[in-house]
A = this chain, B = another copy of it.
Amino acid sequence: MNNERTYQFSDNRESGKKAVFVAIRQNAPIARIDIAKQTGLSPATVTSITAEMITKGLIEEVTNPNQNAARRGRPRVDLQVRSDAHLVAGMKLTDKYATVVIVDFVGNRVAEFSNPSPAAFQPAEDTRDFLQETLLMALDDAGLTIKALSGVGIGLPGVIDTDTGLVRWSPTIMERDVPLQQMLHDVLGVAVFIENDANLVALAEQRFGLGTKARNFIVITIEQGVGMGIVIDGKIYRGTGGGGAELGHTKVHLDGALCRCGQRGCLEAYVGDYALLREASTTMGPLSGANPEQQMQLLMKEAQSGNQTALSIFQRAGRMFSMGLANVVNIFAPELIILSGERLQYDFLYDDDVIASMKQSIVQVAGPPPEVRVHKWGDRMWAMGAATYALEGVIDLELHG
């Protein structure tokens, strides 16, 4: 058993191929024998899989210049991904804008682009049009056309069924059960892969972020809402039908505060922007900012300058958040929790008190509590997660399509 391997797979050739590709991309240049060690596959299987990849132009051999002089005379041949094999795009959709990155097959960023959204909440067809328009603008900006792309990965908030490409529900789309993957494929003419945005952050953290060494970890994203990505035994955990990982809608108070989802007592109804601004309006009157973001900045400033009401609003949100975190730890006991997302600029959600309070609210066993790390990635990095997802989707198509 090799505990250092970075990708888990079951005993079928499909996932073996993907594991080989991931091992090469993450460790290139890498020798076949080291791929075998990392993936747990037999050297013969690795030789056969890599031969197919070379024939298809996905990877290439390189002579390792740093070969150990003590080794026999035969030069050591390593493998690496061919950067020119494919270009893919990764997109992140939020209530405020769409972000695009275009990456080569190695994952090097070729171009990036951002486009403000005309509406935070819109019909599915408008969402499709907005995503298409943004992608075409990004390509145009980079001097490329859609024909240059082999795939597009898209991350958005909500419940996404990756098997069927359905958006079951998203806070940014009016309808339910939207076949967004098919709708976009129809207008773009390239392979489209859609996924929950927090899962894509988890994928990015696993592939090239803070989670590369953890087998079991959790990513909690704090943006418009509270999202969660769960990695169990090296794989993104997707509940039945793409459900699950709805930390923001776990209940922290019976019949508690009203949530945007229409239910009561959801964690989001205590830590989301709207929840804090709703409380602020009770005693502080309407805040003067033009939009929730500016209003939140104002409220934060009030708290920092000693306004006790503003302070108590943030403190309660922090305590509720620590309770939600503790529940996740009590259920999963992950090695690592990564807090990620733009709201982490408001440090009330992850300051030392909140983490300490979480650690006091978990079952006290002798083992150490999980490590908590904060990763203030921008949307560009979320889009990188989407690009990585597209890359791995293209690999699947190339190797078994």
Does A281 sit within 8 A of B, measured CB to CB? Answer: no
The secondary structure that dominates the A interface is: loop
Query: How many copies of the shown chain assemble into the complex?
Result: 2
- Asked if A288 lies at the interface with its beta carbon under 8 angstroms from chain B, I say no
A177 touches B241 (CB 8 A): no
Instruction: Kindly state whether residue A169 has any CB partner on chain B within 8 Å.
Output: yes
**CB neighbours of A241 from chain B (8 A):** 333, 365, 367
On whether the beta carbons of A331 and B244 are closer than 8 Å, the reply is yes
The 6 closest A-B pairs by CB, nearest first: A239-B333, A243-B333, A244-B333, A241-B367, A246-B330, A168-B365
Q: A332, B168: Cβ atoms under 8 Å?
A: no
Q: How many residues of A contact B (CB 8 A)?
A: 64
Residue of B nearest to A262 (CB): B364
Known: A251-B323, A370-B240. A169 touches B365 (CB 8 A): yes
Q: Which residues of A contact B (CB under 8 A)?
A: 1, 8-12, 14, 16, 39-41, 159, 161, 168-169, 176-177, 216, 228, 232-233, 235, 237, 239-247, 249-254, 261-263, 265, 319-320, 323, 326-335, 360-367, 370
A1-B14, A11-B40, A253-B254 given; A365·B159 CB < 8 A: yes
Complex alpha-carbon distance, A14 and B11, angstroms: 12
List the B residue with the shortest CB-CB distance to A9: B11
Which residues in B have their C-beta under 8 angstroms from that of A237? 232
Tell me whether B16 and A12 are in contact (CB under 8 A): no
Known contacts A250-B331, A253-B253, A330-B250; is-contact A365 B243 (Cβ 8 Å) = yes
List of B residues within 8 angstroms of A41 by Cβ:
11
Chain B residues whose CB sits within 8 angstroms of the CB of A366 once the complex forms: 168-169, 176-177
Contacts of A243 in B (CB 8 A): 329, 333, 363, 365, 367
- CB-based contact A169/B363 at 8 Å: yes
B232 touches A216 (CB 8 A): no
Cβ-defined contact, B232 with A361, below 8 A: no
Which listed residue, B319, B332, B363, touches A254 by the CB 8 Å rule? B319
Instruction: Indicate whether A332 sits within 8 Å of B14 (C-beta atoms), given known contacts A252-B254, A365-B159, A365-B169.
Output: no
A246 in contact with B331 given A240-B216, A251-B326, A367-B241 (CB within 8 Å): yes
- Closest CB-CB distance, A171 to chain B, in whole Å? 11
Decide: A1 near B11, CB < 8 A? Known: A177-B366, A247-B331: no
Q: Would you call A245 and B367 a contact (CB within 8 A)? A: no
In whole angstroms, what is the CA distance A91 to B350 when docked? Answer: 44
Q: In the complex, A239→B362 CA distance in Å?
A: 13
Question: Are the CB atoms of B330 and A240 closer together than 8 Å?
Answer: no
Minimum distance in angstroms from A195 CB to a CB of chain B: 15
8 residue pairs of the A-B complex, CB under 8 angstroms, read A9-B11, A11-B41, A232-B232, A233-B233, A250-B326, A252-B252, A254-B319, A254-B323
Are B330 and A331 in contact (CB-based, < 8 A)? no
Smallest distance from the beta carbon of A331 to chain B beta carbons, Å? 6
Q: Which residues of B lie under 8 Å from residue A12 when comparing CB positions? A: 1, 40
**CB proximity of A35 to chain B, nearest CB, Å:** 13
Q: Is there contact, CB below 8 Å, between A244 and B330? A: yes
A177 to B365, CA, bound (A): 8
C-alpha spacing A347/B196, complex, angstroms: 38
A93 to B216, CA, bound (A): 30
Measured CB to CB, the closest approach of chain B to A234, in angstroms, equals 10
Name the residue among A1, A11, A237 with the largest chain B CB count within 10 angstroms: A11
Q: A351 CA to B151 CA in the complex, in Å?
A: 49
